[in-house]
Amino acid sequence: MQAVKNAFIIGHSYGEGGISTAINKQKAKCTPRMELPLIGATSVTCDDEDNAHKLCKDGGIRSAYPVIKIEQTLRVFFADNFTGVAAAQEKLGLTGKGIKVGVLDNGIDYHHPAFGNCFKTHGCRIQFGFDFIGDGTPENPQPDSDPFEPCDGHGTHVAGIIAADDPIKHFTGVAPKATLGIYRISNCDAGTSNDIIIAAMQQAKNDGMDIINLSIGHDFASWPEDPLAVAASKLSDSGIAVCVAASNQGDVGLFSLGSPDSGRNVITVGSVENSKSFYFFLISSASPSRKIIYATTRVTLFFGLSGPLPFKPTSDQPLTPNDACNGVTGDFTGFLALIARGGCSFTQKLDNAAAAGAVGVIFYNNNPDQPDRIDVATTPIPSAFISEKDGLLLLQQYNQNPDHVTLTFPNHTITVEVQTAAQPLNSSGMGPTFELDLKPDFLAPGGHIFSTFPIALGSYATLSGTSMAAAYMSGTVALFLQARGKTDPKRVRDIFQTTSRPLLMKNLEQESLGMIHSTAKQGGGLINAFNAVKSELLITPGKLALNDTPHFNGTASFKIENHSKNTKNYLLFHKPAASVRGFFGGFLVPLANTFFDPFYSKVEINPSSISLAPGKSIRINLRITPPAQLDPQEFGVYSGFIVIKNADKSSKGHKNTDRNDRGNRNYKDDIDGMDGIDDIDSRGHKNTGRNNKGHKRISRYHKRNLFDSNKNSFEFPEQFDKNHKHTNGNHKHTNGKHTNGNHKHTNGKHTNGNPKHTNGNHKHNDRSNDGKNDGNNDRSNDGKIRGNNDGKIDGNHKHNKGTDENDKNKGFNDDKKVFLAANGIDLRDNDPNEEFSVPYLGLKGDLSTFPVLGLDPATNSPFIVDNINGNQFFGENETVTFNFVGNDFPTLVYTMILGSPLVQGILVIANTDKVVGTIFQMEYVRRNDFFGGDVSFFDWNGTVLMDNSTMPKQVPDGSYQIILEALHIFGDPNNPNDFMKWRSPIIVVDSTSPSDATSNVTKNVNNVTSATKNAPFSKNVAPATKSVPLVNNVTNGSMGRKEAVAID
């Protein structure tokens, strides 16, 4: 991710089209790019940064954000049976007819028969649309009226999940009669930008869309104040249901959501696995009856060569380490190469095989995982990915009969069971948000989803990710709106949230682990469209965000309204979920190292049984005590569900649901059937408390050696493949030892805008974790742009003090349409199995003390990089000289462990607290993927903002230091003690010193220790915009909702 050069989103008070007034008044050389009335802003392009500063001097300008470039990456229907969609379609006849769904993506192949081979003509499925980027780039968009997209397929796939209706293949989406609006915001190669996305949102609103699907975003920017999040929430406030894909960064662990998925009023959707998937297969001449499934760059995509073709391995030994990484020995002309996974990237192996003459490559896995799509660069030969078991079989066949075994690739697919059906994908983003809102809101199918694809790319493909889950939810909301009428999107979210089914944690064999997934992972659980449509109970708010310990008074409440014609009797009880601990040694750790514990809150419910007459409501009051076992210094997340169950059904097993002191004893009595799919734990597994025997703390999802040992045989139901064991890639981590470090701060005083700072010495010990990830999930770490919509810092913002804004929404209770059937559909019945649940989430500890500014494990602290030779400098007593000519300037590198409301760099005279000015300031800053190598950096050009000036000035020659400050979440920007601080090495500005452009003389470097000379630092994206009144951190990596993928 990087900023579009000299382009900014300007918040102003001049109204739509009025930015020219400010431009003319300030004589700024800036040109409007796009009007963004949805957020009261206009994006502009200026000749240079000085002209941007001129514009910002105008009194009508209230904020400025960089325009950021977003590289869109991948952020069906067997799942319909366990989501209630099939029942809603078949029993209620719902199709989405009369509902308009806007898809903001990279366009669509509207020639596909599933979309009618037409665009905007009479009777066409797609009646609205526009191309906001055309053949241009985010820097220079060239809009046109045709949103056709032939090259990537993401938008076509998403649109097909929502509303495909293919009369030839008889493939249908969730809402096959919905009307589509297609708004192309990304082209094939160049990605998009935040202002383009917001402009498309505005157009979709103008076109009267009822639902907008956003399968795009930027990760780790988990602030509702981000411009994209603000715009999406405003759409919701206007009556449009906005379905947003959660991030695909769940492998990073807690706090891995982004924007706009952290928007307060949007519907944020995480992903679960499908029950089945389509695979192409190959056949070996040595075992012609065996179908060996394979994946390519998509799960369901043909290999490209039919065969028969001979093959031979690059190594005659099984699972050879670094197989084909250092070249391929021998002549492979006319042969397929069989190569073991591991040691280097698939692309490197593929290139080496092609150089040896291979016509294609068959990779085989180095773990028991089912083959998934692989990420390879464009190469002249095709590749496929098969399982470890099948790869070893082919190797054995070749060794028994060298050069005489051939492979054939039929152009047909078979259906394969997905073992982890209806379980959350590890990659699905994990909450809470930085302001401790409960997100995601719920889960929908997103793993192994088969849907439409551009005709030129095969017409159909299987993809995985939260992009697919959001699209599935958009189609489901269309069914709901058709049945119940158009209503407040926040109420739609409440209904789906409280009718979703909480999911159990299960091991590789789908056996219950005796705990429910945290609401930080699953929100309200797996959606059930049929239950949502049929529900006559309204529960508000649909979720309870309890905040951290200092901001939670121990009480919460929600309201239940009976909109049926019958008196309703319910029992209310508590179903606790696993507590999550992911903060150790001063760092947020990846999911693989996160602990899931049977530590449960104690909840008192008053009343615990109700009899509610038609048209009546009642408030349920809760007293919640966080788990005693959680240490506040570890910032553990606790959660659970308040269940409202039909009282006519036996309440056996619900006498005592708070098991804080008794572990998981008899816990299965409380959680049978909560998955909303067939209970596969009912045979021989009456006691699910096996976790009490040494496994109370689950240290990772699907950890192979934790669950496989010495188990009795397990009888799988028909829909599961008992011969396949699923794991989520080879995530290899060492158990590093962490020390918390000593953060020492002294009080500083801020007067008249000139902050005075004292030294903050951050000392941390090294940690033994190499941070490597050898799994199927390629995490693209994007550099996200943060900003406050009004340009102001509200350091006292405390989110969700046990209440929800939904409870204050007036007028909704009088909107009878939400509880009346449309098109004569009968929604009224008295279901004795009726059950609702309200998810809650809290954090034990004081988030305002969380160390937001982290220390890189390889370098011990933030550091300064000398861009001439790449040397790194850490200590405040070290000295390095720059003349700011060419590349002779410093780069500040740092890591954000958690997001911060305000990060700024203050320049002071060396060894003093005398402030020279501000070199940068960023609001609502994203976190970094610490273990993924993601860092933030700032290239300093030698200028500062002094006093109240809005124009940067070059500093004179002299010795300076940078004070890096990061405000704690919930911190007060006017209180120096609420900042974490770091003082840089001494930076000598000497305009007369030689530079790389004029001399080969060695640079002046003093007091350099042996620890300073680390490997040169390399940046792979453009630096952040410098010296703008409000800038945002830019880090290495790409942006978007990335599909889970194997890269090596």
**Catalytic positions, please?**
105, 154, 467
Residue 796 Cα to chain centre, angstroms: 27
752 Cβ neighbours under 8 A, 6+ residues apart? none
Supply φ then ψ for residue 1045, to 5 degrees. -155, 145
The one-letter amino acid code at 450 reads F
Contacts of 693 (CB under 8 A, 6+ apart): none
DSSP secondary structure letters along 221-253:
---TTSHHHHHHHHHHHTT-EEEEEPPS-GGG-
705, amino acid identity = N
Whose CA is closest to 574, among 831, 840, 844? 840
| Whether the Cβ atoms of residue 870 and residue 1015 lie closer than 8 Å to each other | yes
CA angle 993, 999, 1004 (to 5 degrees): 40
For residues 1037 and 781, give the distance between their C-alpha atoms in angstroms, rounded to a whole number.
4
Q: Answer yes or no: are the C-beta atoms of 802 and 939 closer than 8 Å.
A: no
What backbone phi and psi angles, to 5 degrees, belong to 641?
Answer: -135, 140
Which stretch of DSSP H or E encloses residue 746? none
Q: 56: number of CA atoms within 13 Å, CB side?
A: 28
Q: Cβ contacts of residue 482 below 8 Å, gap of 6+?
A: 94, 95, 96, 97, 98, 99, 175, 822, 823
How many angstroms separate the Cα of 339 from the Cα of each of 713, 729, 774, 1016?
33, 17, 17, 34
Q: Give the angle subtended at the CA of 384 by the CAs of 80 and 720, to the nearest 5°.
A: 35
Tell me the pairing of strands 595-597 and 579-581: antiparallel
Please confirm whether the linkage preceding 632 is cis (ω < 30° from 0): no
| E runs forming strands in 706-787 | 742-744, 750-751, 754-755, 761-763
Tell which phi-psi region holds residue 318, choosing left (phi > 0), alpha (psi between -120 and 50) or beta: beta
Cα–Cα distance for residue pair 443/423, rounded to 1 Å: 9
Q: Which residues of 583-594 are buried (b: 16+ CB within 10 A; e: fewer)?
A: bbbbbbbbbbbb
Q: 440: cis peptide before it, omega within 30°?
A: yes
Q: Are strands 579-581 and 742-744 parallel, antiparallel or unpaired?
A: unpaired
Q: How far is it, in rounded angstroms, from Cα 937 to Cα 892?
A: 5
Beta strand 165-166 with 742-744 is unpaired
- Single-letter amino acid code for the residue at 778: D
CB 432 within 8 A of CB 637: yes
d(CA 606, CA 620): 6
Q: And the tokens for 78?
A: 């067997």
How far is the C-alpha of 530 from the C-alpha of 163, rounded, in Å?
18
